[in-house]
Amino acid sequence: MWEWLLSPIDAQRAHDVGFAVSWHARSMVLAWGVIAPLAVIIARYFKVLPGQDWPRVLDVQLWWQVHWKGQVLVVVLSAIGLVLVLPPDLSQMSLHNGLGYGVLAGLAVQVLLGIFRGTKGGPSAPAPDGSLHGDHYDMTLWRRVFEALHKAIGYGVLLLAAVTILLGLWKANAPNWMWVMLALWWPALVIVFISLQRRGMAVDTYQAIWGPDPDLPGNRLSHPGWGVRRDGPSQERKDVRHSRRHGI
């Protein structure tokens, strides 16, 4: 059993990787197999924390801190991983190398989108003239484009990275235990993703920050995206309106 786990997947080839390739693989797997997907899970499912008295308590920014700091760590680890296997040998351009550059390009786009996502606005971040306007508070066209692009490219890059990791393992003829670890880890992530989704924890960013009041500019817009929870006015407030309307 141990012998099998330690032996390379393809017995015909040696698992003979030097310092550079082994550290390239370690830093890329840590970045793309572990940190990037966890930073996405926290951004999707922990905008409102379990036990948080939402909507009395709004805008808990733990998800935001972990998301962007985690992704900056992904940038640092990817840069280290890349430098280790440079300079490029164009005569040896394999599918792994090509997709690897694709992942890094996607990473650059994601970081740029994140940096240029626009202003926040609202009571806690008013514009310099004191008005509440901001790209996010008003859900301007740019904010909606940002959310749609950042999500689509983000999930696409995660999938591309998974394929790239598998191709990298094959290229380096990695030992069986590494494949086994990933075959346990990735399904575990998918199960976590599905169960948090089922619990209704993917709260709309807008409502996590400013609450469900239907008079807020962003709450008058159409639905915020696939599987994202947006609450209507609470039952309590519906009752108040109902009684006002009927003079009760």
Write out the residues near ligand HEM by the rule CB under 6 A. Answer: 21, 24-25, 28-29, 32, 36, 40, 43-44, 67-68, 71-72, 74, 82, 85-86, 88-89, 92, 96-97, 100-101, 103-104, 107, 110-111, 114, 117, 147, 150-151, 154-155, 157-158, 161, 164-165, 168-169, 171-172, 174, 205
Shortest distance (Å) from residue 236 CB to ligand HEM: 27
Shortest distance (Å) from residue 32 CB to ligand HEM: 4
Phi-psi region of 196 (alpha: psi -120 to 50; beta: other; left: phi over 0): alpha
User: By C-beta, is 27 or 246 nearer to ligand HEM?
Assistant: 27
Shortest distance (Å) from residue 128 CB to ligand HEM: 21
Shortest distance (Å) from residue 233 CB to ligand HEM: 21
- Euclidean distance between CA atoms 166 and 182, whole angstroms: 9
Shortest distance (Å) from residue 244 CB to ligand HEM: 33
- Euclidean distance between CA atoms 99 and 88, whole angstroms: 14
User: By C-beta, is 5 or 240 nearer to ligand HEM?
Assistant: 5
- Euclidean distance between CA atoms 140 and 118, whole angstroms: 9
User: By C-beta, is 159 or 240 nearer to ligand HEM?
Assistant: 159
The answer to whether the peptide bond before residue 212 is cis (omega within 30 degrees of 0) is no
User: By C-beta, is 95 or 240 nearer to ligand HEM?
Assistant: 95
- Euclidean distance between CA atoms 71 and 32, whole angstroms: 10
103-124 exposure pattern, b = at least 16 Cβ within 10 A, e = fewer: bbebbeebeebeeebebbbbee
Q: Angle at the Cα of 38 (from 86 to 119), degrees rounded to 5?
A: 90
